[in-house]
Structure 1
Amino acid sequence: MRTAFVSPRGAARMVLAGMVVAGLVAGCSSGGEAPKTEGPSGKSTNGERTVEFNPCTELSDQALRAARIDPASKDVVTDAPTGPVSARVCQWNAVGGPYFVSVSSSVYTQDEARKNDKLTGFRDVQVGPRAGLIYQDKADEDKLRCYVSLPAAQGMFEVTVGWRYGEPMTRDRCELAIQHAKELEPHLPK
């Protein structure tokens, strides 16, 4: 039997991209046509919803540093150059911890996340002026990741903390995700 080696960083990227792109899509296939709207939030292209805010390019280095995230460690998980895009995701290394922080901008909503049977452990949390939602992926048996979503006009933003595989877990991932979400929230559009 042959096995392939995937680095921890590569595995984290694949899991995160799969969660955002496939997981939320599975939870939001309600049928019907996407709403046709115009303007800076909820932009539509040929009837398909698309995100406007790009965390990969629009979160400033200053905002990242204030949240104790290393701007130089940016890793683009998904950021299609053209056409309708349902999610854009970038991740960075946390300063002072063996974990990464990712920020996704998505057309999907918190209600769609709640309906996704691949997610579990839903809890409400206040993040600045927004009603945040905490959850985890059922497939993450080691509980290495925790997600905090924030509502937005386009759908939602998701701040994720992912512990590096093989590192001893010394802090609660969800508490870290909440903390980073609170630090980043003022820099995310409503």
Structure 2
Amino acid sequence: MVVQSAWKMRVAVGAVAVSAVLAGCDGGGQTAAPQTTVRDLDSIVVFNVCSELSDEVLREVGLDPATKRVVTDPPTGPSTWRVCNWKPLDDRYGSGNRRVGVFSTSHTLAETRAKEGLRNVRSTKVADREGLVFSESSDPDSCYVAFEAEQGMFEVHVGWLSSSGARAGELCDMAARYASELEPHLPE
């Protein structure tokens, strides 16, 4: 009776082991690839803010297309960052002594949250997209508003051009306003 119980136990354990092996196979006997959520940042083609934001859109949000400065915009293929900035056309959000940068990236809000050197980090919404407002310890004269996108995220940056000109207005408020006005022109 003890031998028969031991045999039944081995059969049961063997059946469980076979079931576990078969669960890892697809219908053809091949081992199924594990599900992964790792993104290959170098293969994602991000929206090109330098060439795909029209002059009309830039003027509509108060930026001067003639002042475009390319920070990074590789000529072809995928890129983890595409960044351009412009000077404002007017003083609708404070002093004209500033630049407004628009960043398009395959990086995410979660990565930004984990980044060292950020300060004054707080959650926000840009339209219906989750976002963050923050500044960087290395650049205290600027503020960023980042918001999610399928490609990763977009960031809008406002910073003073120089330490000597007029400084009116709060940078994070300006960045939030520009982000809000640019958001409808950026892909989900």
Could you say whether these structures have the same fold, taking a TM-score greater than 0.5 normalized by the shorter chain as the test?
Answer: yes
Alpha-carbon separation, structure 1, partners of 2:147 and 2:45:
14
Alpha-carbon separation, structure 1, partners of 2:51 and 2:187:
14
2:46, 2:81 within 8 Å by CA — same for their partners in 1? no
Root mean square deviation of aligned Cα: 1.8
Partner of 1:174: 172
Partner of 1:75: 69
Q: Deviations over 1:84-108 (max 9, x none)?
A: 3110000000122111111010011
Are 2:161 and 1:164 equivalent residues in the alignment? yes
Point out the structure with max Rg over C-alpha: 2
Q: Which runs of 5+ in 2 are unaligned?
A: 1-35, 91-95
Alpha-carbon separation, structure 1, partners of 2:54 and 2:128:
21
What is the aligned residue count? 147
Partner of 1:35: 39
Partner of 2:57: 63
Q: Which runs of 4+ in 1 moved over 2 A?
A: 32-36, 48-52
Bigger RCO (CA 8 Å, 6+ sep) = 1
Letter in 2 for 1:178: A
Give the match's secondary structure for 1:144: strand
Q: Which runs of 5+ in 1 are unaligned?
A: 1-31, 37-43
Alpha-carbon separation, structure 1, partners of 2:45 and 2:118:
22
Aligned ranges for residues 142-161 of structure 1 at < 5 Å? 143-161=140-158
1:51, 1:88 within 8 Å by CA — same for their partners in 2? no
| Matched-pair identity in % | 43
Q: Deviations over 1:158-177 (max 9, x none)?
A: 00001111223211000000
Give the match's secondary structure for 2:99: strand
Q: Deviations over 1:143-188 (max 9, x none)?
A: 3110000100010000000111122321100000000000000000
Return the offset for 1:54.
0.2
Give the match's secondary structure for 2:63: coil
Q: TM-score, normalised by structure 2?
A: 0.73
